[in-house]
Every structure is written in structure tokens, then in C-alpha cells.
Structure 1
Amino acid sequence: MSIETGLKSVAIAVAPNGGRKTKVDHPNLPLTASELAETAVRCVDAGAAMIHVHVRKKDGGHLLDAEAYREVMSAIRSRVGDDIVVQITSEALGLYTPTAQIAVVKKTCPEAVSLALRELVPDASFEAAFAELLAWMSRERVLPQIILYDPSEAVLLSSMQKRGLIPWHTIPVLFVLGRYTAGQTSQPTDLLPFLANDVPRFEHWSVCAFGRHEAACVATGALFGGNVRVGFENNTWLPDGTTASGNEDLVFAAAQTVRSVNYKLENGSDLRKRLTELVG
């Protein structure tokens, strides 16, 4: 809720590249530091408050590397300053162990990072290392976001919080809709299991979706009280069924939806303040 206006506020994050797609999938997929910085400029202008970035190897393959992350973060900051929250991914894509993922996060020390619970805590033996990472992030003021693919993961995260393994009173999460469904095309109804009465609630949650119904999915998320993430990582289709020319088109479409229901659109400073208040 926006304190200034009393309106519901929504933050839009953009995930412009991911770890799998190439320019064969879309010629305007940003892969280099300069391309990601230019994307950040356009997406800020379109209404984005956060950018979720992946970095790549020279051959285009997925990479977790502190030096590459620092290059991208510096390039984005040189173009937009603090107008957007820069979040790196710790996603493994089957290539990195939880230990390696944690090491890269610590070496990079970013403003924000997303952490897939199922990757970093594949079983109970990894809980202690995950808790130590979160404690380090709390000390270093790195903004967290826990990625949840299934409501059962929300239950696990809540359990860890009750057992004192989460250093904050609440933790931001991202509900990923339809990642493991047939055809990987998300539907708005995929959000409902995350909002069921027997599933733990999180004060700050966002939603992202795969495929041509992305706009409908994130609109549903916003109307149910969440924040949204769009971008070429998961989708290149506009709501009218045409292909977006750039990530900024998807951000602009989401921003139009937010404004059309008289919700306040958060900027980077708004989101940074809200997240810092939650986990500061």
C-alpha cells in the first residue's frame, strides 16, 4: 500500500534474458553488459522498478561469475544510477552446486539476489548453509527474494522461518507459475494454489509466468495483491499476440494494466525503500 496516496502499489520487475535463450530466440535479447544497461534505461522509462539479470559465457552459456556480475551492475548504474533495483540470479541451471551458488553471491555482494529454494535446499542437510547465507545477506544488507515453484516450497520456507533459520520477520518471494506444466505455458489459475488457505502468506510476493498468457497471469497477481515480473526470460509475446520488439514493451504493457485499475506504479526508489523496510 502506498502511504502517500493510500492506493495499492505494485512494482514491476523485468527479467530481460534468463540463462537459456539466445538471439536466435529473439534478436533483441540482451546478453552483454552494454546491452543489459541499454535495456535497463528503456525499462525504467517504461515503468520497471527492478531488473533481474543473468550473465553469460562468451559462447552464450549460462554463467555465475562475480566479475561478470560486477561489470553488468556497473554498466547499469552508469546509465540509470539508482533508478532501478539491480537483482542478480543465483540460478544453477543444473551447472552449479549450492556451495558454488553461495560463493558467487558472497563474492559479488550485490544489491539484491534471487535464490531458488529447491536449488539451494535440495534436502534438509543444506538448510544450515542456506541459513548462514541469509544471515550473511542480512549483515551485508543484500536484498533477498526466494523463488518458489510449488506451494510445498512455501510451506518449507515458512517452516524454516518458524525454526529461526530466516533472519528477517518476513522475506520476499517470487511465485513461478507453470514452470513444470505441460508445454510450459502458464495460466492465471496457476496462481491459486499459492494463495490457498492452507499455504503460508508472505508480506511481499511477486509473480512471473511463461508464455503467451504472461500478461493475464501478472495482471491476476497484481489484482490479488502481488507484484509482477515480466520479460524475455520467460516470454516474448505481447497481450495482443504479437511479438514484443524489446523487454520494454512487456514492461509498458504491465504498467498500463497497473495504472488502468488505479494502482500506484512503484519506481526503483519506492521498491528499494519498501524492501529495505521489510528486511532491514
Structure 2
Amino acid sequence: MRPPVMVAPNGARRGKADHPALPVTLAETVETARACHASGAEALHLHIRDEAGAHSLDSGRYREALAELARQIPGMAVQITTEAVGIYDVAAQLRCLTEVQPGWASVAVRETARDLALAPRLYATCAAQGTRVQHILYDTDDIALLRDWQARGIVRPGQDGVLFVLGRYSAGQVSSPDDLTPFRTALPEAGDWMVCAFGPDEHACLAAAAAQGAALRVGFENSLTGADGQPHPDNAASVAALRQRLERTRA
């Protein structure tokens, strides 16, 4: 079975100084999404930027981006991020979700835990408006928190999508396939699960995750280079290289 691939082409922190092909404007993001879709990515993890190129959760910009992506690449699923990046509080994240009403959004449980009074409202809002939630999990402590919220009814039934993040808080943000083991051990029943991995072994980590049934997230948010340390020409090249690796593994 061909594993689903999502591309995360920019993230919140990187810019043109990190890689000239990293998309910052809406036009660049649309063109990157189009190329990545053609290279084998079925979905896009969407970050938007403000006029200065900084991370933004502006609802108007999100709605504009979602409309343009739907118009130009109707076959590509889009997930928005609610990432705080030290800028936005939980109230702002909830406001973004309420005003944008996206079909799909990623939510970091450790960020939502900053305001436990608002956590139930955030998940209830997503359930009421039909926003599919993907929980960003950086370590097994995040999994324990998610389990607690599920048991208490804060996280609603059906809100079971997860993203295991490999290498985010390791030295140099470098991951290895072995980093997946603690996540799988702590949450073995995960059905709707995806993996992303920081560092030059990104594709090796994703191939190992695919062998276990994961959906995959690849792109410049997580790694700019291949295993040889050479930068990918652009996000589409990274997607294509991952797809080729997966096909070789299946052959």
C-alpha cells in the first residue's frame, strides 16, 4: 500500500537565508504545493507569513491561502498549523480555529496545556465545526497528557490523529529511525498516525515509519538536506526522492 505523504514546505522559523527555494509568500507556497503534489505529496501542512515574512495565525491570510490552494490544486488536502512559536497564546490559537474553521488542523498538546481552562473549548470547537485534529507529540510525556485528556473527555471521540515528531529536542535536531520506538511503545494503538523527522536522516526515519504503517510528513520545515548533507534543490525534489526510496523498498 502506498503510504500517504504530506509536505511541510516552510515551517514557522526558516526563511530564504536558510534555503532560497523555501516558500514565504502565498504565491510561492501555491507553486511549491503544486510541484510537490505532482511529485507525490497528497497533502500540505500550511504555514502562513505576515508582510515581514514572520510566522502568523492571521485568520484572513489563512482563509485567502486556503481558497487559493483549493482553486489551484483542488486534489490536495490542506492542514493548517496552530503553532505558537512563542508568539501566540491558547486564546489566539482558539480564535484562529474559530474564525478559519479549517477542515484539518495540527494542535500541539503541550501548547494547549498552557491554558487548561481553554483546552476543552478548543477541542469542542473543532468537533462542532468539523475540524479534523492532528495532535503534535514531541515525546512520551505528550502522549501521557493526550491519554489523560482523552480519559477526561477533554479530547473528543474521533479526535485521535497524531504526529510523532522525531528529533525536535535532540542535540542538533538530528533524528534516527530508533527514535520512533518510544512513541510506538507508548501509543501502540494509534491508527491515524503520521511521522516527521528532523535532520539528514529524515528519509530513513520516514521509510522505517512507512514500513510500520505510518503516514509521512516531509519537507523543509524538518530537513533541508539529504543523508549526504547536500541540500535538496527544493521541496518537490525531497518529496520525489522520498517516493523513490519508498518504491525501492517495496520492490
| TMscore range, shorter length | over 0.9
**2:64 partner SS:** helix
CA distance in 1, matches of 2:150, 2:138: 18
Superimposed CA distance per residue, residues 83-104 of structure 1 (whole angstroms, 9 cap, x where no aligned partner): 1111111000001111111111
Stretches of structure 1 that go unaligned for 5 or more consecutive residues are: 1-7, 264-280
Q: What is residue 92 of structure 2 aligned with on the other side?
A: 100
Count the aligned residue pairs. 251
1:26 aligns with 2:11: no
State whether residues 6 and 216 of structure 2, in contact with CA within 8 Å, keep that contact through their aligned partners in structure 1: yes
The question of 1:218 aligning with 2:206 is answered: yes
Cα distance in 2 between the residues matched to 1:55 and 1:169: 27
Q: CA deviation at 1:199?
A: 4.1
Retained in 2: the 8 A contact 1:231–1:247? yes
CA–CA separation in structure 1 for the residues paired with 2:107 and 2:85: 12
Relative to structure 1, the CA distance from residue 239 to residue 45 in structure 2 (aligned partners, 3 Å threshold; closer, same or farther) is farther
Q: Deviations over 1:94-150 (max 9, x none)?
A: 01111111111111111211001111113xxx3452222222212211111000001
Partner of 2:233: 245
Q: Say if 2:166 is the partner of 1:173.
A: no
C-alpha deviations, 1:160-179, integer Å up to 9, x for none?
11222222245110011111
**Structure 1 runs, 4 residues or longer, greater than 4 Å off:** none
Residue-by-residue CA offset, 1:224-251 (whole Å, 9 max, x unaligned): 2211101011111134442111111111
Equivalent-residue separation in structure 1 for 2:250 and 2:188 (angstroms) = 28
Question: Which residue of structure 1 lines up, in the alignment, with residue 5 of structure 2?
Answer: 12
Offset from partner CA, 1:2-37 (integer Å, 9 cap, x none): xxxxxx441101000111111111111111111111
Paired residue secondary structure (2:250): coil
**Matches of 2:112 and 2:133, distance apart in 1:** 13
Give the structure 1 partner of residue 111 of structure 2. Answer: 119
How far apart are the structure 2 equivalents of 1:43 and 1:219? 18
Which ranges in structure 2 are unaligned for 5 or more consecutive residues? none
In the TM superposition, what is the alpha-carbon distance from 1:200 to its structure 2 partner?
5.4
- Structure 2 counterpart SS, 1:115: strand
Which residue does 1:267 correspond to in 2?
none
Q: What is the TM-score with the length of structure 1 in the denominator?
A: 0.85
Q: Distance in 2 between matches of 1:39 and 1:75?
A: 13
From 149, 153, 171, the equivalent of 2:138 is 149
1:247 maps to a residue whose letter is: N
Partner of 2:50: 57
Post-superposition Cα deviations, 1:36-67, rounded to whole Å, max 9, x if no partner, equal: 11111111111111100111121121111001
Question: RMSD in angstroms over aligned alpha carbons?
Answer: 1.6
Amino-acid identity (%): 40
Contact residue 164 and residue 196 of structure 2 kept, 8 A: yes
User: Do the aligned residues in 2 keep the contact of 1:238 with 1:249 (CA within 8 Å)?
Assistant: no
Per mean C-alpha deviation after superposition, the further-off stretch among 164-173 and 71-80 is 164-173
1:132 aligns to what?
121
Q: More displaced, 69-78 or 213-222?
A: 69-78
